[in-house]
Structure 1
Amino acid sequence: MFLTLTSTADSASDLGFLLHKHPDRVQAFDLSVGTAHVFYPESTDERCTVALLLEVDPVELARGNRFGDGFALGAYVNDRPYAASSLLAVALGRVFRSAMAGTCAARPDLVGVPLPLEIHVPAVPDDGDAALVARLFEPLGWQVSAGVGPLDPAVPAWGDSPYADVRLTGTFTVADALRHLYVLLPALDGGKHYWVGPDEVDKLVRSAGEWLGDHPERDWILRRSLAHRREYVADAVERLGVVEVPATPDEPSVPEVRPLSQVRREVVLAELRSARAASVVDLGCGEGALLRELLADPSFTRVVGADVSHRALRRAAERLGLDRMPDTVRARLTLLQSSVTYRDARLAGADAVVLMEVVEHVDADRLPSLERTVFGDARPRTVIVTTPNEEFNVRYPTLHAGTMRHTDHRFEWTRAQGEAWAAGVCAAYGYTFRAGAVGDVDPEVGPPTQLLVFTLGAAA
């Protein structure tokens, strides 16, 4: 089982710093199913390639009976030693853990820099669908070449091989490229070698939370990754903030409660209309889910989407169809790269600013900067904040005690903590606030999401 990752960037050998693996060394890592080897077939300033070779121990596989369910000799006769699978994903996570996390103490200037990358995985299961690999990787921005040859050239009657020779080309950070492989290779394989439990939901949200919710093959990926466990799929959907819970094949269709992300947008829109806001800044707009609904209502005459992430803004432009948008709609929209913790004069003058699921992503010691930016500098008539209600977390079946809904959350407030923060803001900047709820209110733990509506200088 084998894959290579190649950088063709200037000073391409810097790839070694990002991967925390020196190009001059061959390293080996013991895994429960064998040994992972890392080495560099080439390393120059023009081109640098790292190879991951997973040497599978068939005895360990058979001893664990991880693939013995299909037929009597399945534990002994299988494609695990050569086909890219969950085994390879586990090796990626073990060997390149720091690189996947986007950390590089030796060269922090390299972190987050997109590089021209090439990935080669010689044997990827494709379910007999030659276009499947492309449908999974192309929406993420990869150019895909997936060649499928005959299973045995000497026996044409056997047909095509069920494995594709896959080459991916694109410009990504190394961390993003590794996470794409980590999530999608096991989904393509469809047969994880370990027990799928609630922790798998956390892994998906942590590794793919930025892109999986909007992936056109999301439902298929979720079902395959979570062993068709509907309760896990539903929990992942909720935490990814997508619009519907996918049905599992052969399962009766049942009415679903509208997901919290949809309810949240509806509540925010209702508050904006009630405040008679014509110009709105969605600060921390992400990939534009709220922007789409603001643009659909002509009463919002000026719509600004601001986010610190250039990638998120690019995705927002793609999702909104900016290049195909009618001129009258396009004239109402502005996309800005901006931070919630730094003054930006372009955000001033709006009737309302929305911070929808944003404050919990800001380090607690940076909250005063956010408050100054929004309530002191931009100073709109209305500010709408939504943030998770920490008390409600006990209602999520796969969320372990003491953990938060998303790995990027710096904190999650109880209702009392949220209202205490709001009261402090009002005292400092001359606003009043009203607390509300998003989602059904549980009699014991309250709503899943807190709503805080601030009004400048008047009773809310």
Structure 2
Amino acid sequence: MFLSITTTQHPATNLGYLLHKHPDKVQTFSTAGGKAHVFFPEATDERCTAVLLLDIDPVELVRNLKVPGESRMLQHYVNDRPYVASSFTSSAISSVYASALNGRCEDKPEWLGIPLALEAKIPALKVKGGMGLLERIFQPLGYTLQAERLPLDEQFPEWGESSYFSIILQHNISLQQLLQHLYVLLPVFDSERHFYISSNDIEVLLKKGETWLKDHPERDFIVRRYLNNISLAKMALARFIDDEGNEATGVEAEPINLEVEEERLTLHQQRLNAALEVLKTSGAKSVLDLGCGEGRLLKMLLREGQFTRILGADVSFHILQVATRRLYLKDMTPKQKERIELIQSALTYRDRRMVGFDAAALIEVIEHLDLERLPALERAVFEFARPATVVVTTPNREYNAHYAMPEDKFRHGDHRFEWTRQEFAEWVQKLSEQFGYTATIEGIGEEDPNLGAASQMAVFKRSVE
């Protein structure tokens, strides 16, 4: 992955002074995930370009994450981390370009803060929100944006386009402003960021965004995605509001609307409680948590002595490391460790490690799959793994009107679909007939007489064979 910054501000070679990097040298630095190289492919008074090239080592990433050998899969080593702008790029900016990011330049202090004709190129950035999201993020900051969606494979155009974009940003701003924007915004697009978020990151975000974030129309979205934690996001957003509830400029501010997110948290706990109750009453002793995420249901299962074998599976090895930390697996006694195992696995493929369990739970999982991939999950769970009890929860799309959401929007940016109660019931009936289960459906959360409940849960019971 590389990030290039070009200026045509005469004398353009002053870019080297601002970055504290000599145009005639190739410099290498240790950074998160591997090495960072800085070089200048062109350096004249008319045009100067500095390239930050990240050499990410997937093998070293796996070692740092301490993934157990038996849980390592191809995806641990073959992924987009070496090629795509991500949180690793943000970390490299903060370490390799620290002086420029913080507005320091001893040799050319008169160039600090002055607008320069700058162009930044990022050849690959994953953007699930498409061109619209890129425009909403960068155009309010004054950038001229050029973006090209990349194909999945140039040799197979019938496969369609990917979610990756090659982008060029142009603006007349100071170098420090450009780096601050990139430092904050690149992790916003990265759902697989490599670092953990704490309350200290609120100060970092506010410091780097103090001159531009407050007035950005997507401020709340940026804060939530950067911090990736609703409680921390609420704390950060509150910092923009004075004691009278007005913006620091004195203009009356719109109220911070985190009610939907807070309700989701409460609703999610209701889902987990409902699923746990079903699993307990089923008499199951071994349970699969499919799409286990950070391990909230796993933690609840561990508290119940009834469950003697627990397997958590997720496609993201990063999130499994978060679960490992939150469950304190490394601190468990040997007897406790015998009860639980975490594995990296794609739920759309048959996995023998999932066979032989009494029950399985898919809590808010199916809506994250493309509809054309859903049949593969159905077969993997109901035909091959085939537990006696399966609990599935998913949002009720009709209830979105309760949140005053547009009809074409989903509750989460990663949702590929959301079903009405009728659509969910038809899917449940189809699976029951196809794989030999009986099923019941109930609502979870507050129920509206017209819209139904916020979430819907199906409990599948395998017919006697």
Using structure 2 for the length normalisation, give the TM-score.
Answer: 0.58
Pair 1:272-2:298 in alignment:
no
Using the TM superposition, give the Cα deviation of residue 100 of structure 1 relative to its aligned residue in structure 2, in angstroms.
Answer: 5.5
Distance 2:292 2:322 in 1: 11
Please name the residue that 2:384 is paired with. 377
Corresponding position of 1:232: 257
Structure 2 partner of 1:346: 353
Question: In the alignment, what sits opposite 2:127?
Answer: 101
Q: What pairs up with 1:65-80 in 2 under 5 angstroms?
A: none
Give distance in 2, aligned partners of 1:455 and 1:313.
29
* Counterpart residue number, 1:248: none
1:320 and 2:362 matched: no
Aligned residues: 332
Secondary structure, aligned partner of 1:40: strand
User: Would you say the 8 A contact 1:353–1:384 is kept in 2?
Assistant: yes
Aligned to 1:401: 407
Superposition pairs of residues 304-453 of structure 1, within 5 angstroms = 304-397=311-404, 399-453=405-459
- Is the CA contact (8 Å cut-off) linking 2:34 and 2:54 kept in structure 1? no
**For the Cα contact (< 8 Å) 1:201–1:235, is it kept in 2?**
no
Structure 1 residue matching 2:125: 3-state secondary structure: helix
Alpha-carbon distance change, 123 to 429 in structure 1, aligned in 2, over 3 angstroms: same
TM-superposed CA distance for 1:218, in Å, is 5.0
For the structure 1 residues 290 and 387, does the alpha-carbon distance in structure 2 shift closer, same or farther, using more than 3 Å as the test? same
CA deviations 1:312-360 (Å, max 9, x no partner) are 1111000111111233322100101111100001101111110000000
Unpaired runs of at least 5, structure 1:
17-21, 27-36, 57-80, 83-90, 113-121, 125-165, 167-171, 242-258
State the Cα deviation string for residues 111-156 of structure 1 (Å, max 9, x = none): 99xxxxxxxxx999xxxxxxxxxxxxxxxxxxxxxxxxxxxxxxxx
**Structure 2 equivalent of residue 292 of structure 1:** 299
- Pairwise CA RMSD: 5.0
* Per-residue Cα deviation, 1:75-124 (whole angstroms, up to 9, x for no partner): xxxxxx96xxxxxxxx99x976962538984898xx99xxxxxxxxx999
Give 1:176's match in structure 2, choosing from 189, 193, 210.
193
Structure 1 residues 230 and 40: alpha-carbon distance in aligned structure 2, compared to 1, 3 A threshold: same
In structure 2, relative to structure 1, the CA distance for the partners of 1:261 and 1:107 (3 Å cut) is closer
- Give the SS at the match of 2:257: helix
Deviation sequence 1:366-390 (CA, Å, 0-9, x none): 1110000000000000000000000
| C-alpha distance 100-23 of structure 1, shift in aligned 2 (>3 A) | farther
Determine the C-alpha separation between the residues in 1 that align with 2:461 and 2:48.
Answer: 58
SS at 1:360 equivalent: helix
Shift of 1:273: 1.1
Letter in 2 for 1:99: L
Q: In structure 2, what is the Cα distance between the partners aligned to 1:408 and 1:174?
A: 10
Q: Give 1:223's aligned residue.
A: 238
Amino acid at match of 2:283: R
Give the direction of change, closer, same or farther, for the CA distance of 1:435–1:392 in structure 2 (3 Å limit): same
Q: CA separation in 1, counterparts of 2:432 and 2:418?
A: 20
- How many angstroms apart in 2 are the aligned matches of 1:346 and 1:393? 37
Q: 1:212 aligns with which of 229, 246, 250?
A: 229
Alpha-carbon distance change, 357 to 173 in structure 1, aligned in 2, over 3 angstroms: closer
| Distance 1:370-1:123 versus aligned 2 partners, 3 A rule | same
- What amino acid is aligned across from residue 50 of structure 2 in structure 1? Y
Write the letter of the residue equivalent to 2:393.
T
Q: Secondary structure at the match of 1:339?
A: coil
Percent of residue pairs identical: 32
Could you say if the C-alpha distance between residues 447 and 12 of structure 1 is closer, same or farther in structure 2, counting changes exceeding 3 Å?
Answer: same
2:420 is matched by which residue type in structure 1?
T
Contact 1:196 1:226 in 2 (8 A): no
Q: Residues 421 and 232 (structure 1 numbering): CA distance in 2 closer, same or farther, change over 3 Å?
A: same
SS of the counterpart of 2:376? helix
302-311 or 184-193, larger mean C-alpha shift: 184-193
Give the superposition deviation at 1:444. Answer: 1.1
Write the distance in 1 (CA, Å) between the matches of 2:327 and 2:194: 25
SS of the residue aligned with 2:452?
Answer: coil
Report the CA distance shift for 1:274/1:106 in structure 2 as closer, same or farther (over 3 A).
closer
